[in-house]
């Protein structure tokens, strides 16, 4: 019978990591730790995305395949479009003994579940470089484009048969965390694992349509209304889109529907700094997307916010015109 070590080796050969002994040891250790658990609660992060949910459902199926009891928990409701990831996963009744986090970078991202779980985590699996979860067993690979890459390796090492449901869960996670294999985080490993998932029956085109292309009429309406506000500043290097509360109400769009809109201004040729201003109950929520000519985190940091070099955010408790003027002035100065 194949051992965890052997199966881990095979999985890493497929990933092009056959010679990375440190990584293989970590994979074997984590797979063995997971195999020792039973009555497991798998925790997804708050405001769940495709990666945290697809990893949770895949791991849940994998543990159940090995004869264990497992459920998935999340502080927030699962958005409708991700419901299919849980097809066939009926909640099981048991007293939870063990806890695993997937794709959760920090305790506060457990949302309202933080108090309950923070000090009980047995295994933490993630791909965020600054992961601050404390757990006796941690497997964090910042080179993985999605946590799903690590979950695939783990399930493979654990001897779980990747059926179509697991393949779909992991493919959905990979696709959503990479913008459909488009972002700079994608590596050869991402594609190599996607190939394995396709071989196991992953319904790629269907999943990509559902999670990447398909939009509700409400979201499309919000897009239409917000696009009408598009303005250019700084010799067309800065573009601003505005989403008001009235637009949210009139369109019936959900807060998460604004996510995709934030990427629009920056996608216009010649624009180095794309700003989206969304009206909220306590002022303006700002999303900035930028290229290498402007550090979005530096810009937002000036106003008490933060994030990454290419994507950051901040808040303004000021009038619309005031907030916009301050942002554009700062962007202009930083782009010089």
Cβ neighbourhood burial of 246 (10 Å; 0-12, 13-18, 19+): exposed
CB of 103 to Mn ion, least distance (A): 4
For the residues of 109-155, what is the DSSP string, one character each? GGGGGHHHHTTT-SEEEE--TT-----SEEEE-TT-SSHHHHHHHHH
Question: Between 177 and 257, whose beta carbon lies closer to Mn ion?
Answer: 177
CB of 151 to Mn ion, least distance (A): 11
CB of 224 to Mn ion, least distance (A): 30
CB of 143 to Mn ion, least distance (A): 13
Question: Between 54 and 274, whose beta carbon lies closer to Mn ion?
Answer: 54
Question: Between 55 and 275, whose beta carbon lies closer to Mn ion?
Answer: 55
Query: 110: closest CA among 143, 134, 139, 91?
Result: 134
CB of 146 to Mn ion, least distance (A): 5
Question: Between 312 and 331, whose beta carbon lies closer to Mn ion?
Answer: 312
Question: Between 147 and 251, whose beta carbon lies closer to Mn ion?
Answer: 147
Q: Judged by CB under 5 A, which stretch of 25-33, 79-87, 172-180, 211-219 contacts Mn ion?
A: 172-180
Query: 257: closest CA among 80, 71, 52, 9?
Result: 80
Sign of CA dihedral 41, 45, 46, 47: negative
CB of 227 to Mn ion, least distance (A): 29
Residues in the chain: 336
Kindly state the number of chain residues that form the binding site for Mn ion, as judged by CB under 5 A. Answer: 4
CB of 37 to Mn ion, least distance (A): 22
Report residue 47 as tokens: 């405001």
Q: Is there binding between residue 141 and Mn ion (CB under 5 A)?
A: no
Q: Are 241 and 265 in contact (CB under 8 A)?
A: yes
CB of 226 to Mn ion, least distance (A): 27
Binding mask of the shown chain, residues 89 to 118, with x at each position contacting Mn ion by CB under 5 A? --------------x---------------
DSSP-assigned letter for residue 96: -
Question: Between 142 and 325, whose beta carbon lies closer to Mn ion?
Answer: 142
Report residue 287 as tokens: 């999303």
CB of 204 to Mn ion, least distance (A): 19
- Angle formed at CA 100 by CA 95 and CA 106, multiple of 5 degrees: 125
Question: Between 104 and 137, whose beta carbon lies closer to Mn ion?
Answer: 104
Cβ neighbourhood burial of 249 (10 Å; 0-12, 13-18, 19+): exposed
Report residue 312 as tokens: 């950051």
Residue nearest to Mn ion (CB): 51
Q: Are 130 and 105 in contact (CB under 8 A)?
A: yes
**Residue from 141, 149, 177, 196 in contact with Mn ion (CB under 5 A):** 177
Question: Between 103 and 257, whose beta carbon lies closer to Mn ion?
Answer: 103
| CA dist., res. 104 & res. 308, Å (int) | 17
Q: Judged by CB under 5 A, which stretch of 112-120, 174-182, 243-251, 325-333 contacts Mn ion?
A: 174-182
Neighbours of 25 (CB within 10 A): 12
Q: Which of residues 39-78 bind Mn ion (CB under 5 A)?
A: 51
Question: Between 183 and 209, whose beta carbon lies closer to Mn ion?
Answer: 183
Report residue 129 as tokens: 């470089």
Q: Are 247 and 226 in contact (CB under 8 A)?
A: yes
| CA dist., res. 314 & res. 316, Å (int) | 7
Q: 269 Cβ partners below 8 Å, 6+ apart? A: none
Binding site for Mn ion (CB under 5 A): 51, 103, 147, 177
């Amino acid at each position: 019978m194949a051992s965890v070590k052997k199966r881990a080796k095979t999985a890493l050969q497929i990933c092009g990591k056959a010679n990375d002994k440190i990584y293989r040891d970590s994979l074997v250790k984590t797979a063995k730790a997971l195999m020792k658990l039973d009555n497991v609660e798998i925790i997804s992060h708050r405001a769940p995305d495709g990666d945290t949910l697809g990893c949770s459902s895949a791991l849940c199926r994998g543990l159940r395949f090995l004869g264990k009891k497992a459920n998935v928990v999340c502080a927030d409701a699962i958005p409708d479009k991700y419901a299919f990831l849980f097809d066939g996963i009926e909640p099981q009744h048991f007293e939870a003994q063990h806890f695993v986090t997937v794709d959760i970078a920090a305790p506060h991202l457990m949302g309202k579940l933080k108090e309950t779980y923070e000090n009980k985590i047995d295994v933490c699996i993630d791909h965020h470089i600054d992961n601050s979860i404390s757990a006796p067993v941690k497997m964090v690979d910042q080179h993985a484009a999605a946590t799903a890459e690590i979950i695939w390796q783990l399930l493979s090492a654990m001897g779980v048969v990747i059926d179509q449901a697991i393949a779909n869960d992991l493919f959905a996670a990979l696709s959503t965390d990479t913008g459909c294999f488009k972002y700079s985080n994608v590596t050869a490993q991402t594609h190599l694992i996607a190939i394995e998932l396709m071989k196991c029956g992953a319904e790629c085109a269907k999943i990509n349509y559902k999670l990447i292309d398909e939009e509700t009429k409400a979201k499309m309406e919000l897009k239409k209304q917000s696009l009408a506000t598009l303005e250019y500043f700084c010799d067309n290097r800065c573009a601003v889109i505005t989403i008001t509360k009235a637009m949210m109400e009139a369109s019936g769009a959900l807060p998460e529907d604004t996510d995709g809109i934030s990427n629009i201004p920056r996608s216009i040729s010649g624009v180095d700094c794309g700003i989206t201003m969304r009206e909220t109950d306590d002022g303006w929520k700002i999303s900035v997307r930028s290229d290498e000519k402007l550090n979005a985190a530096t810009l937002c940091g000036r106003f008490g916010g933060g994030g990454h070099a290419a994507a950051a955010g901040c808040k303004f408790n000021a009038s619309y015109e005031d907030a916009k003027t301050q942002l554009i002035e700062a962007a202009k100065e930083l782009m010089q």
